[in-house]
Amino acid sequence: MNKAVSRKITRYSICLLIVVLLVFFLPRCMPGDPVQCLVGEDVYVTQEILDALTVKLGLDQPLYEQFEIYLQDLITGDLGYSYTRHQNVADLIWSRVPWTLLLTGVSMLIGYAFGLLAGTWTGWMSETKRSKVLTAFGVVVSCIPPYLLGLIFFSVFVYQLGWFPYKGFYETPDIFSIAYHMALPILTLALFVFARNMIIMRGSVLTEKDQLYPQFAKSLGIPQNKIIYGHIMKNAILPIVTHFAIDFGFILSGALFIEIIFSLNGLGRVMYTAILNLDYPVLSGLFLVIAIMVICANLIADVLYGIIDPRVKRGEEQ
Amino acid sequence: MYEKKHFATIGILLIVILLIFCSGCISSTQTNSEAILKIATPSEITEASYFGNYNFAQMTRVTTPPLIQVDENGDNIGDLAKSWTVSSDGKIWTFTLDPDYQWSDGTSLSAEDVKFSLEYTGEKIATSPAWIKNATISTSGNTVTISLAEPVYRLCGDLVAINIVPKHIWQSIDTPEEYISNGPYVGSAAYYVKSIDTDSATLILAVNPEWKGDAPYYGTIEIHWFATEDAAISAMLGGECDTYWKYGTAFPTTSVALLETSDKFTAVQTPSLKMSYVGFNTITSDVGSDLAFRKAIAYALNYDELVEISAAGYGLSANSGFIPSGVPYYKETTANTYKLETAKSMLDAAGYKDVNGDGIREDTNGDALTVTLLTRDKVAGELIKEYLEKAGLKVEYKFASDINAWIELKEAHTYDIAYNGITAKGMMMDSGWATGYFASNAVGAGKLQNVDDPVFLELCAKISVTPDGDELKSLISELQDYYAEQVPGIALYWCTDVTPINTEIDGWYISKATGIYNEINLLSIHPAD
């Protein structure tokens, strides 16, 4: 057990180290000059002002020295200072994280819950007409990227029908207003998550239902719903758990487009403007936080695997 | 007799008083506290930072106005300053403040606030104009005097962008760019910032109770920002907002057709200071530094088609003198015309002939004449590529998909010809009259910096220190001749600004610099009868 845990810790530590290296160097490989981005296009500035700004931002130092400073700051929990937004990166990220987690978290919760149930049902009842229609619907929706789904929903439900608001997390900061404003963005993302998970779950259930144990359970007189949701679903869920870990990063990037379409000031928008403005500290900080979230999701998936399928745990112990 | 005269005098007096009373009633609008004007904009405020966020600073220009503003013709007129004078040598500028402006918290606005604001901006904001640091600013009563070390022709242009803020509030804030507050922000004009909320993407302006000028009709102005232009336009057309505004640019010409589908909006067209052009790399490119080649290319471009396709019809064919007709000291020069055969014969005469008959000209070394075209606009870029190919050139096409790629490519001078745009503000930056886009000693993301000709740089230097007057007029005339004769760039078209006007509202006033978002407009608009 200890050996398995230490192996996991080593694996995730190496992963984190590579992530730290990547999040520092990748944004700096992008073309352009962050100082020029900072001052804008049609402004009157002298070379002296640009030079002074470069020094102020620490961009005059060699890259390895900048990395050294970055690591020192990171150890103390300092993610740096955004020179386009004039605030600490950590403060900036933490102020936006709750909103993005609300969007992605609720979407994933709804999408996974309904995706699992619907996937199990369509897998078990695969020969029925209703199952085929639902499967076809799932295939179509999962083929549409979230941004296109968002644009279609925006055009129909916001612009044409006027059922949902155009922008923002709320009009007045109360629960009803937030729910009203977040409903369509959450629905968009949740529908996408739902469709993907339903298809995966369906395939997994199709494999499981041909095993001997469901037939044995049936012969014992166990009710069908208990066989489906108590035995088959539990065994068929493993690919979904794996998918959850991989999906987490994808959902966050999907949230970026949803935030742009529905004018939501979340993490995705912060990332978008940071890319446009070459705001290195914000990009590094965001990538790091997102990478840590994905690593945590993988860790959770690892733990869940052991709980759901004890054979995995036994294999690790051996 | 005496009594008759007496009665007549009293009668005339009464009529005069009545007339004054009536005219007063007509001219002064009552503020309707329930009335809300909603403006949709894609200019997003990411932080509620007055000094730290560019878009917020632009939007607060109507609440804490600068000394000077730009009117509908593009001329500088008084804003917080009622009037101003300048000494003959251009070094002493004296501004007299308008008493209508008072801080919304009841504090009197004084000349000390102006002095403080200028010095505060100079000290705390990294990109503030350099002249502030060398100027002596003094006050006397309600006048402020700026004494400059050297004349600065663009002083008014710079002052347009410096908000005058309350000293009693900001003097205790040491790092203004980091200061974040959801409001209220004390203002001095007809409106002040009541609140700002980045989560709901809304900025609310309320009527300043201390304002002494004409009362605005709308009790509240709401500015709603959206992540994209399309979303903002949809909100306007969908009835969520009353009008549309974006700082620095007009309504997207590609969306004008949408206005025609609405009964509520109409499009108003006004000549703009913005324009599109191609610049030649006269520094490191062989063909770009060849004047004969540049002059030939000026005949190879189909200007009318560029207006129709690239500007969606909202533009005017330009002249060889480059700068648009709305810019001060504009003079008539030869119109740019498309004459492909003339271009071809000029290229032949310049030594770029198609010797081997393969349809592509050869350069002086006998190699295929390949030009690298750098563009930030795909539509215009494709058109220009086609024109150059028709003239017998082989074109290597480089498309800069974003500002960062553009900076990388143009800074490295990896082009022979580059397509670029000039903004209204950019037109007058550096030494003004579009020189900032050409001069090799200018710095900035949007600038090509493609001319290092000492004659041009000297002309720019002279313009920047010449006070307004006959001498400046003569220098600008010389500059337009330089553009026409030396062809460092070719103006493709002068833009026409399109503003969507809500027909249910009257009194629209469109500033050349800031469109509908200006103090005059906010005071004059009211529901249509």
pLDDT digits (tens, 9 = 90+) for A96-118: 989 998 999 999 999 999 999 99
- Mean predicted confidence (pLDDT) in B370-376: 94
* Contact at CB, A49 and B126, closer than 8 angstroms: yes
% of chain A surpassing 90 pLDDT: 43
Residue A123 is predicted with a pLDDT of 93
- Nearest CB to A32: which of B403, B425, B436? B403
Report the alpha-carbon distance of residue B31 to residue B220 in Å, rounded: 10
* A223, amino acid identity: P
CA distance B199 to chain A (A): 6
Nearest C-alpha in B relative to A81? B178
DSSP H or E segment with residue B398? strand B394-399
Beta bridge partners of B501: B266
Which of A83, A100, A166 best probes binding to B when mutated, by most B CB atoms within 10 angstroms? A166
Whether B36 contacts chain A with CB within 8 A = no
* Contact at CB, B202 and A31, closer than 8 angstroms: no
Angle between helices A129-143 and A89-124 (to 10 degrees): 150
Contacting residues for B278 by C-beta, under 8 A, at least 6 apart: B297, B301, B384, B417, B418, B419, B420, B489, B490, B492
Contacting residues for B289 by C-beta, under 8 A, at least 6 apart: B280, B281, B282, B283
CA distance B343 to chain A (A): 33
For the cut 60, the answer to whether the pLDDT of residue B308 exceeds it is yes
Residues of B in contact with A99 (CB under 8 A): 199
Residue A155 is predicted with a pLDDT of 94
For the cut 50, the answer to whether the pLDDT of residue B268 exceeds it is yes
Two structure tokens written together for B419: 């397509």
Lowest mean pLDDT among A178-182, A289-293, B190-194: A289-293
Whether B225 contacts chain A with CB within 8 A = yes
Two structure tokens written together for B255: 């969306």
Range among A208-217, B127-136, B147-156, B195-204 rated most confident:
B195-204
Which of B41, B47, B222, B272 best probes binding to A when mutated, by most A CB atoms within 10 angstroms? B47
* Contact at CB, A37 and B130, closer than 8 angstroms: no
Return residues 197-256 of A near B (CB < 8 Å): none
Higher pLDDT, A53 or B236: B236
Give the helix ranges, DSSP H, for B125-228: 131-134, 155-159, 167-170
For the cut 80, the answer to whether the pLDDT of residue B144 exceeds it is yes
Q: Where are the beta strands (DSSP E) in B148-301?
A: 191-197, 202-207, 218-225, 243-244, 265-280
For the cut 70, the answer to whether the pLDDT of residue A317 exceeds it is no
Beta bridge partners of B145: B94, B138
Residue B27 is predicted with a pLDDT of 42
- Mean predicted confidence (pLDDT) in B261-265: 89
Q: Which of B162, B136, B160, B161 minimizes the C-alpha distance to B149?
A: B136
pLDDT digits (tens, 9 = 90+) for B383-431: 999 999 999 999 999 998 878 888 888 888 889 999 999 988 788 888 8
CA distance A84 to chain B (A): 8
* Contact at CB, A166 and B423, closer than 8 angstroms: no
* Contact at CB, A36 and B228, closer than 8 angstroms: no
Residue A249 is predicted with a pLDDT of 74
Return residues 93-122 of A near B (CB < 8 Å): 99
Residue A49 is predicted with a pLDDT of 76
For the cut 80, the answer to whether the pLDDT of residue A39 exceeds it is no
- Whether complex ipTM tops 0.90: no
For the cut 50, the answer to whether the pLDDT of residue B23 exceeds it is no
* Contact at CB, A167 and B224, closer than 8 angstroms: yes
Which of B38, B200, B241 best probes binding to A when mutated, by most A CB atoms within 10 angstroms? B200
Nearest C-alpha in A relative to B448? A41
* Contact at CB, B46 and A265, closer than 8 angstroms: yes
Two structure tokens written together for A245: 């870990």
Nearest C-alpha in A relative to B227? A263
- φ, ψ dihedrals at A235, nearest 5°: -80, -30
Report the alpha-carbon distance of residue A103 to residue A106 in Å, rounded: 6
CA distance B225 to chain A (A): 8
pLDDT digits (tens, 9 = 90+) for B74-94: 888 999 999 999 998 889 999
- What's the whole-model pTM score? 0.84
Dihedral angle at the C-alpha atoms of B326, B417, B284, B481, nearest 10 degrees?
-30
Angle at B279 between CA B273 and CA B284, to 5 degrees: 150
Residues of B in contact with A168 (CB under 8 A): 199-202
Residue B31, helix vs strand vs coil: coil
* A123, amino acid identity: G
Residues of A in contact with B38 (CB under 8 A): none
Residues of A in contact with B202 (CB under 8 A): 168, 171
Higher pLDDT, A154 or B153: A154
For the cut 70, the answer to whether the pLDDT of residue A193 exceeds it is yes
* Contact at CB, B404 and A168, closer than 8 angstroms: no
pLDDT band at B11 (very low <50, low <70, confident <90, very high): low
Whether A159 contacts chain B with CB within 8 A = yes
DSSP character string of B319-354:
BTT-S-TTSTT----PBP---HHHHHHHHHHTT---
